[in-house]
Structure 1
Amino acid sequence: MGAYNFFGTVNTLFIFISLFGVLSQVNMIWLRKQYVSSGGATELLSINQFTVSYLAYFSFFIYGYSIEPFNHYIVWPRLIATLLVGTILYEIWLDRKTKSSFYVLLVALLFLCFGIIGLFWGETIADEGRYVSTTLILTISLLMAQGYYHQIKLIVQSGSTGAIDLKMSQFIFMMDISTIAFALTMGLKMGWPLMVLAITSGITKVVIMYLFRWVQFSPQALTRRKEYNNEPS
């Protein structure tokens, strides 16, 4: 087995592992729905961050079927991931019923429809799809940095991780590392967009994982948590 197939298989494995992280986040939302009031099941979940995550998986999905040869290692796992993160966006809308969450969900569904259509059109839009997906990946890399900054800011300000699930960040971080390795085997000419997004994602996951420890041991986090929950000092 060559390096390309080896790291492609490893990356696919870690993508599926990361899906368990996304499933864990979905499960946490469903569990919280059983004992918290409306608006609490998705507490502190940044719709900004999950929208960017959705678009990141979606852009990889398009990129995978736009390049030659058709990259099965990229396409199918990312399609599943797109659907799972879309489920989180649906749960956020269901929990909050805000205009912003509705419009985000609507746009996500429209993107998914166009992406599926592009998949079946195949080579007729390969060049256009590669151009669009590369542009989308670079744009999303910037949006991801901004989106996770917003999520990080919510944690720091509240001193709490709320409904955020640690396993999701851990599993996605492992996927990011394997994606970087896989992109290197594709060659920089073809794999550099994947590397840019994976490196950006990996850095943000490291910060999120650190903050889970910070909220447990930092006196400042405890003070902010009490203020956020309006508890007496």
Structure 2
Amino acid sequence: MDEGDVDLDFYNIFGVINTLFIIVSLYGVHSQLRTIWKRKESSNSYERPTSLLSLNQFTVSYLAYLSFFIYGYSIAPFNHYIVWPRLIASLLVALILFEIWQDRRSSHAKSSFSMACITLLLAITGLFTGETITDQGKYISTTIIVVVSILIAQGYFHQIKLIISSGSTGAVDLKMSQFILMMDVSTIAFALSMGLKQGWPLLLLAITSGVTKVIIMFLFKWVKTSSTAEKRRHIVET
């Protein structure tokens, strides 16, 4: 077995592992949706269904999934490990954006959801429009990934600020962060198996995303144990 075969084996192994963890992360995203739906059904009028969910963060998360969807079908060979799970994830996060818009009825929420619908249609169109768009898509998606890596840090920073300032996690779902962190770790391994020349966009975004998930997971513990968090919750309630 030559070196190329070994590299291909690692690529396939980590590709399968990454796909499995992405499927797990999809459960996490769906868990966030279920949390919203449960809160909608609750009779507690003091808690909005999407309370403390950062529109900024979920918009950026959507763009991250979508950019990888485009990236996966733009590179050669077509990367099934990246494309199909990210398409499903994009759809699920778009549903979360829809729920945020339905709950808040703000112009910003409407704009985010509308943007998600339009860009998703364009991205799916790009999947079927041939090599010319595909070649351009690689550069477009790589640029988007770099920009999204910066925005995702900013978006999750906004979510982190909301939790710290209120002393509460609100409608933020812990499982979503846990499962996406697992996906991020496997994505880092998969990106390394692709080689830095082709896999660096995956690596950049996965590391950025992973760090923010660790912080949010820590904050779930912080809100339960910190006296500061308790005081801030009382201030918000009053």
Moved more, 36-45 or 151-160: 36-45
- 1:102-143 per-position Cα deviation (integer Å, ceiling 9, x unaligned): 011111111001000000113121221000000000000000
Q: Report the equivalent of 2:178.
A: 170
Return the letter of the residue paired with 1:137.
Answer: I
* Cα pair 1:38 1:95 within 8 Å, conserved: no
Identify which of 11, 14, 27 aligns with 1:20. Answer: 27
Distance in 2 (CA, whole Å) between partners of 1:27 and 1:84 is 11
Return the letter of the residue paired with 2:111.
Answer: Y
Q: What is the CA RMSD across the aligned residues, in angstroms?
A: 1.1
TM-score for the superposition, normalised by structure 1: 0.97
Q: Report the equivalent of 1:185.
A: 193
* Cα pair 2:127 2:134 within 8 Å, conserved: no
Identify which of 160, 164, 169 aligns with 1:156. Answer: 164
* CA pair 39-100 structure 1, distance change in 2 beyond 3 A: farther
**How do residues 80-95 of structure 1 correspond to structure 2 at under 5 angstroms?**
80-95=88-103
Q: Report the equivalent of 1:79.
A: 87
1:41 maps to 2:49 = yes
* Cα pair 2:39 2:47 within 8 Å, conserved: no
Distance in 1 (CA, whole Å) between partners of 2:198 and 2:134 is 14
Structure 1 residue runs without a partner (length 5+): none
Aligned residues: 230
Structure 2 residue runs without a partner (length 5+): 1-7
- 1:38-83 per-position Cα deviation (integer Å, ceiling 9, x unaligned): 9700000000000000000000000000000000000000000000
Tell me the percent identity: 63
1:2 maps to 2:9 = yes
Q: Report the equivalent of 1:203.
A: 211
- 1:201-226 per-position Cα deviation (integer Å, ceiling 9, x unaligned): 00000000000000000000000111
Return the letter of the residue paired with 1:145.
Answer: A
Return the letter of the residue paired with 1:12.
Answer: T
* Cα pair 1:64 1:71 within 8 Å, conserved: yes
